[in-house]
Chains A and B, each alone.
Chain A
C-alpha cells in the first residue's frame, strides 16, 4: 500500500448491527461493525463458522433473510450513498450492476435448468439496453476473460456439464460482467481443490487490477488471506477484534484471538523424520485396483467406467503414519474404503499382519475388523444420532464379545483418553460440537485396540482452531498407544503436521511416495510440484505464538 493518495472508499460500514431472532445463541449476529473497502483493494473478513461474516455480506446487499434477521443499527454507504435511503428498485439496480457477489458453492449457486450463457446474459438484460447480439458478444468476452476453454460451446452448456472450478469461473464472469465497483466474495474457493483455488484467486486478482474493483473477501482460511489480502479484519462472535494491513495481522497479530487463530494454522514445516526401517510392516497393499463399473448398460443408460484406484501399493510399518494426499477424484477415499473392505476392491492384495483382508470370508473378516478401524470425515454423519455416546463407543467391543458392563466401563475410560468429560457418556451426539464429536469418533475407533487406524479426512470438516486441537490429540495418542495410521487428506498443511511418509495420488495412481520432509523439499513428480506450489500462503509461515496463545 504505497499508493500516493488513498483511493476513495467504495464501501463504508459504520457501526453496523444485525439482530438475530429471539432464541438464538446471541442477540446480535454483528455488533457495531466498522469496515471500509477502497477501490482496487482487497479486504479479507476472517472468522470461524458462526462468526457472522456471511451476514455482513447480506447486510451490504440488503439481502438478509428478513424479518427474522435484520439490520437494526449503523449505516452502510456505497460510493458515498447511504443504502438505507434507497428504494427497493433502486437497490435492485445496484445489485449485480455496481455491486456483485460470488458465493461459496459453485455447485448450487447456478440455476441447474438454464445455460451458462443465459445466466451471464441475465445480468446484461437486467441492467443494460444492449441488443441481443452485443450482449452475446459480451458474454463470450467474459467467458474468455475468466478462461473457460471454448467459450462458443460453453455458452450453451448447462451447469452440470462443467467442472466445479469452471462453474466458479462462470460465477465470477457473471459478477464482473458490468465491471462493478464492489465485489463481495463469500468463501469463493472453499469448495475447490487447491490447484483450482490458486487459479481462481489469481483470476480474481488479475481482473481486479484491470477493473479497479474493491473486493470484500470473506474467508476462514489464513492461507488464502496471506495469498490475496491487502487488509484484514478479524471477526469473532459478531465482534470485530482486530483489523489492519495484511502483513501486520498475519505476522504480528495483537489480539489474543487472532494470535490463537494464526497459531492454529498448520505450519508447512514437516516434523523431524522418525526412522521406521526396523519396525515390522503391519499393513501392506499390493497392486490394488477398483473400477466403478458402468451400471446396467443398455437399460440404465451408458456411463463410462471410472478407474478410481489403479495399481496402488504401499507399506505401513508399526508406529508409522502414512499420508495419502490428493485432490477430489484422485481415488484417495476409495483407497481408504478398499483397505477396510467397506468397498470390494477388484484386484490386488491387502494384508494385515500377514493375513489377506480382501479374500477373507465373512467370518474371518468380522474378526479382522477389530484390527483395522476408521475415523471418518464428517463427525455429524458418522455417529448414529439415536444412540448415546457410551453405546456408540461400547458397540465395537460388545460385537466382538466383551460383556456389556466391561465394555461400558472401557468406553468411559476412553472418553477420558480423548479429553472428554465422563459425563458425556450418557448424552446424544447432537449435544456436542463438531470437534467434540470427532473425539467421540476417535474413542470409538480406539475401543477395539486396533493395529491400524485409517483416518479419512478427520479434520477437514472442523474450524481451524478445533482442527489444531484434534490433530494434537491424534499425535499424542499415536505416541502413547504406538498407533499405525493411514491418514487420508487433501490438505498438505495438515499432512505436513502428522505424516511420516506421504503418498501423492492423482487420477487413481500413486505418483510419488517419500518421507514428508524430503517430499516437501524436493518433489520429483510434476503433479506433486503443482500441488505444493498451490498451497495458499505457502510463502508465509505463521509466527510461532503458540506459547502465549495457549
Chain B
C-alpha cells in the first residue's frame, strides 16, 4: 500500500517535467523553418495564396500561439504526432513500429554494461592499486574515451570483415525466414556488435563509479564496526560494502538512460538497425520534423518511465527511504 502511494507521488512529480517537454517540442516545431502547410504545398508543387490561407485555417495555424499549443498538447497526450509526408503514414505508426528494436538494444546494452561494470569496479576497488586494478582502470579509461561510432566501425573491420564472426548490420538475416529458437539466435548474433559498441562507454561509467564508491564506503565507520565484530573481508564486501556502494550506481543508471538512448542514434545508423535512432537520423536528413519531434517526445517519455522504475527500485533497496 505504501509503495503504491509512493509510486503515485513519483508519477505526479513527473507531470510538470512532461508538460515542460511538451512545451519544448512545440517551441522547437515553431522555430523550425516552414510548417505543415509549406510541406503540403511543396508536395503539391505550389498553390495559390487563398488556398494556402484556407489550408492554414484548416490546420489551426491562424489561431493564437497558445491555442495552438493547447491543441498540440492534447494531441501529444494521445500519442498523435501528426502525419509524415516522407513516409506517407501517421508518425505514431512509424514510431511504434521502430520502438521494439531500440528497446531490445537498450535492454541488452544496459544489462551488459551494468553487470560487468559493477563487477569489474568492485574487483578493482577490492584490489586497489594492484596490477589487476591498474589493468581494469586503464581499460575503463580507454572505453570511456572511445566514441561508440568509432568502436562500432573498428568492430566491423575486425569481427565482420576480417574474422567474419558476426554480421555487418541489420537485426536479422534478410530472406532467411527463421522461426523459433533459430530466429532468436539469429537476432542475438546481429545484436552482439551493436550492443558491445554502445555499452562499453557506459560500462566504463559504472566501473569507475563503482570503484570509487566501494573505496569510499570501505572507509566508513560501520565497516570498521563490522571488522571489530570479527567479520572476514569477503563478508564485509558482500553484506556491508556492496550493499551501500550499489546505491549511487543505481542512481547513475537512471540518469544515464537518456544518454544511452541518444547513443542509439549513431549505433543504429552504423549497424542499420531499424530503430528510433536510425529513424531520427533519417528524419534530420529528410527534414521530416513531425517524425523528429515525435521521437524527441516519445524517447523522453521512455526516459521518464525508466526513471520512475529506477526510483521504485531505489526505494525498495535503500532502507533509509521512508515510503510514507
Q: A and B touching (C-beta < 8 Å)?
A: yes
* Chain A residues whose C-beta falls within 8 Å of the C-beta of B243 in the assembled complex: 111, 113-114
Known pairs A92-B230, A97-B230, A299-B9; A113 contacts B318 (CB<8 A): yes
Known pairs A111-B244, A298-B12; A123 contacts B320 (CB<8 A): no
What are 12 A-B contacts with C-beta separation under 8 Å? A61-B228, A63-B228, A95-B227, A95-B230, A96-B229, A108-B221, A109-B221, A110-B222, A111-B244, A122-B239, A126-B235, A301-B324
Residue B229 contacts which of A105, A113, A123, A299 (CB distance < 8 angstroms)? A123
Q: Given A63-B228, A114-B243, A126-B231, 20 other A-B contacts at CB below 8 A?
A: A61-B228, A63-B224, A95-B228, A96-B228, A100-B228, A101-B225, A103-B221, A103-B224, A108-B220, A111-B226, A111-B243, A113-B243, A114-B319, A122-B229, A122-B231, A123-B230, A126-B235, A127-B230, A174-B229, A301-B324
Q: Cβ of A267 < 8 Å from any Cβ of B?
A: no
Main DSSP-derived SS at the B contact region: helix
Q: Which residues of A contact B (CB under 8 A)?
A: 61, 63, 89, 92-97, 100-101, 103, 105, 108-115, 122-123, 126-127, 158, 160, 171, 174, 298-299, 301-302
Over the window 60-90 of chain B, the binary record of Cβ atoms lying under 8 Å from chain A Cβ atoms (1 yes, 0 no) is 0000000000000000000000000000000
* Chain B residues whose C-beta falls within 8 Å of the C-beta of A96 in the assembled complex: 228-231
Q: Cβ of B322 < 8 Å from any Cβ of A?
A: yes
Q: Cβ of B98 < 8 Å from any Cβ of A?
A: no
Closest chain A CB from B267 CB (angstroms): 36
Closest chain A CB from B67 CB (angstroms): 29
Q: Give the distance in Å from the alpha carbon of A61 to the alpha carbon of B322 in the complex.
A: 36
Closest chain A CB from B214 CB (angstroms): 14
Centre residue among A97, A113, A122, A158 by max chain B CB count within 10 A: A113
* Chain A residues whose C-beta falls within 8 Å of the C-beta of B9 in the assembled complex: 298-299, 301
* Chain A residues whose C-beta falls within 8 Å of the C-beta of B231 in the assembled complex: 92, 96, 122, 126
* Chain B residues whose C-beta falls within 8 Å of the C-beta of A92 in the assembled complex: 230-232
Q: Give the distance in Å from the alpha carbon of A101 to the alpha carbon of B221 in the complex.
A: 12
Q: Is the CB of B322 within 8 A of A301?
A: yes
* Chain A residues whose C-beta falls within 8 Å of the C-beta of B220 in the assembled complex: 108
Q: Give the distance in Å from the alpha carbon of A223 to the alpha carbon of B225 in the complex.
A: 27
Q: Cβ of B13 < 8 Å from any Cβ of A?
A: yes
Q: Cβ of B189 < 8 Å from any Cβ of A?
A: no
Closest chain B CB from A79 CB (angstroms): 16
Q: Give the distance in Å from the alpha carbon of A96 to the alpha carbon of B6 in the complex.
A: 39
Q: Give the distance in Å from the alpha carbon of A282 to the alpha carbon of B35 in the complex.
A: 71
Q: Is the CB of B229 within 8 A of A63?
A: no
Closest chain B CB from A172 CB (angstroms): 12
* Chain B residues whose C-beta falls within 8 Å of the C-beta of A174 in the assembled complex: 225, 229
* Chain B residues whose C-beta falls within 8 Å of the C-beta of A63 in the assembled complex: 224, 227-228
Closest chain B CB from A91 CB (angstroms): 8
* Chain B residues whose C-beta falls within 8 Å of the C-beta of A298 in the assembled complex: 9, 12
Q: Give the distance in Å from the alpha carbon of A95 to the alpha carbon of B228 in the complex.
A: 6
Q: Give the distance in Å from the alpha carbon of A213 to the alpha carbon of B6 in the complex.
A: 48
Q: Cβ of B240 < 8 Å from any Cβ of A?
A: yes
Q: Give the distance in Å from the alpha carbon of A174 to the alpha carbon of B229 in the complex.
A: 8
Q: Is the CB of A95 within 8 A of B225?
A: no
Complex A-B, nearest 3 residue pairs according to Cβ-Cβ distance, in ascending order: A96-B229, A96-B230, A95-B230
Known pairs A96-B228, A174-B229; A160 contacts B320 (CB<8 A): yes
